Structure 1
Amino acid sequence: MENTASAMASMEKLDHSNQAFPVSEFIDEYDASSGGIYPSHWHQEMELQIILSGSARYTVNGENYVVKEGNALYIAPNAIHQSSSLEPGTVGYNLVILPVLFTRILKNIHCEQYSLPLTMLQPSAFLISPDSKTGFSILETMRRMYYTESSNHAYELFLLQNLLGIWRSLLALFPKPASDTADSPKLLKESRMRDMLDYIHENFSQPITISQIAASASISRSECFRCFSDMSHITPMEYLNQYRMFEATRQLTTTSDPITDICYAVGFNSTSYFSKEFKKIYQMTPREYRASKKV
């Protein structure tokens, strides 16, 4: 299994190289991402990211977390999350794991109780720091995983052994749920937000209105604005433009498509406006940006 640069899709459908062992590793190089931002998204996997250098701010289901160098963050399956670098040179090592990897093993040994955080989706996020012995152990394990070559003998067994150890340690750190009763209004808002993000990710190349975004979740325009404000701290149109720019930078660096084609492919109907907005963010034109990323 190889470390790869992070890529994002709609409801992020990750293509695990081994479906029987659904674990993927990514290196998040924030300087290479659009404005140092990975826009809001969600996926069925749980996620663990340790910041190797720099620092990053995460928003998970509307809650903010600052992750400093040497610290890590756990993100629950289905949680809506985004991240942005707080300083140049921020790099993270990211483990993305389909819950069935754990639940299948735990069911076979009749220890289903240890998978409850994955099935209850609580906590939605948890900051891991070296301040405790358990947190320090998790961080050391993640660093060891990062530095171990995927070509090593029985690498999958190495990953599995360490992931089970991390999960055992996380269970000791996770706070007990305050109540057995789910927060229904919050869960409903999260569900609506996932529907709207999916709609934007699937249709960003077309003209999109607030009414269309709201309709994708069967809610009013005002509720649409509230959802984006509470969950991502930006407006729906700000998010749409953020995602379009994210896609533009991805296409500029991974394809040889003409810039005019990329402009229209990401939803802009004017090349001059696209270039103007692009330069506002990156202080360079799309052509200059592409040239700066060439090795």
Structure 2
Amino acid sequence: MIHRFETPGGALMPNILHAPELLAARESAIYQKYVSPVITYGKEYVILEKEKNSGILSLLDEIYKDAGKEMLRKELIIQNKISRLWDELFEEVPDIVQRESRNKNLLLQSRLREMMQFIENHYKERISLERLAAEANISKSEALRCFKRGIGTTPVKYLIDYRLERAKELLCKTNDTVIRVAADVGIDNTSYFVRIFKKMYGMTPGAFREEEGLKKAGEK
């Protein structure tokens, strides 16, 4: 079936619909080898690019135009072009899938960088998942997915780890109290700060500072 959608602005969207069996019987080797892999590769659509997929786009245009003509062997001609179209599509699908995968990875990395940068700039503040997701203009579930797929952790864990790294620097470079250091990295509860610091580094903030002081003294 060949038809089209037309927008109020005059744009045309041709549609070419056909059953897979038009290409080959479902039980045939051709269907199993060339048709099934394309219709089951995991996506309901592919995005075609003018330069990289010109052959496919050209055939789509020819099929649509042929459907509106009166000519001998019209159905056979169209069927032949659909077979050629499928042949090109079969060749292109791996490249299209890889290209879409690369684009998705680039988008994920871009969103992840935005959120990580936000954490690094605002780690002293209260940062909710909702606020973090809003910075990348995505949903909370997508923010969680970006961190998990991108760096294998959660936004909360990344924030805590970043705060503890900054706390280590302050313990080494200043004489501020542990209470002050905790507050300066955005943690109001000192007991909680001591607990998570010890869990991360195997010692309390005070013991860490003392150990670092001994190391520096030994280097002199």
Spell out the pairing of 1:230-241 with structure 2 (5 A cutoff): 230-241=149-160
Distance across 2 between alignment mates of 1:266 and 1:224: 23
Aligned to 2:110: 191
Of 209, 214, 232, the residue aligned with 2:133 is 214
Q: Give the partner amino acid of 1:208.
A: I
Which residue in the other structure is 1:225 paired with?
144
**Which has more radius of gyration?**
2
Once the two structures are superposed, the pairs formed by residues 95-134 of structure 1 within 5 Å of their partners are none
TM-score by length of 1: 0.38
Unaligned 5+ runs, structure 2 = 1-94
Could you list the runs of 4 or more consecutive aligned residues of structure 1 that deviate by over 3 angstroms after TM superposition? 178-182
* Amino acid paired to 1:243: Y
Shift of 1:181: 5.2
2:139, 2:119 → 1: CA distance? Answer: 16
User: 1:276 offset after TM fit, Å?
Assistant: 1.3
Q: Deviations over 1:222-266 (max 9, x none)?
A: 000110001110011011111111111111112222221110011
For residue 269 of structure 1, give the secondary structure of its aligned residue in structure 2.
coil
- Report the 3-state secondary structure (helix = DSSP H, G, I; strand = E; otherwise coil) of the residue aligned with 1:202: helix
Q: Which has the larger helix fraction?
A: 2
Q: What do residues 172-217 of structure 1 show as CA deviations (whole Å, max 9, x unaligned)?
A: xxxxxx8995821111111101100011001111111111111110
Which is richer in strand? 1
* Count, aligned residues: 118
- Aligned pair 1:245/2:145, yes or no? no
Q: Distance in 2 between matches of 1:193 and 1:273?
A: 27
Q: Who is 1:278 aligned against? A: 197
Greater length-normalized contact order (CA 8 Å, ≥ 6 residues apart): 1
TM score, norm. by length of structure 2:
0.51
Give 3-state SS (helix, strand or coil) of 1:227's partner.
Answer: helix
**CA-atom RMSD, angstroms?**
1.8
SS of residue matched to 2:168:
helix
Identity rate of aligned residues, in percent?
Answer: 36
Q: How far apart, in 1, do the equivalents of 2:204 and 2:106 lie?
A: 41
1:98-150 residue CA offsets vs partner (Å, 9 max, x unmatched): xxxxxxxxxxxxxxxxxxxxxxxxxxxxxxxxxxxxxxxxxxxxxxxxxxxxx
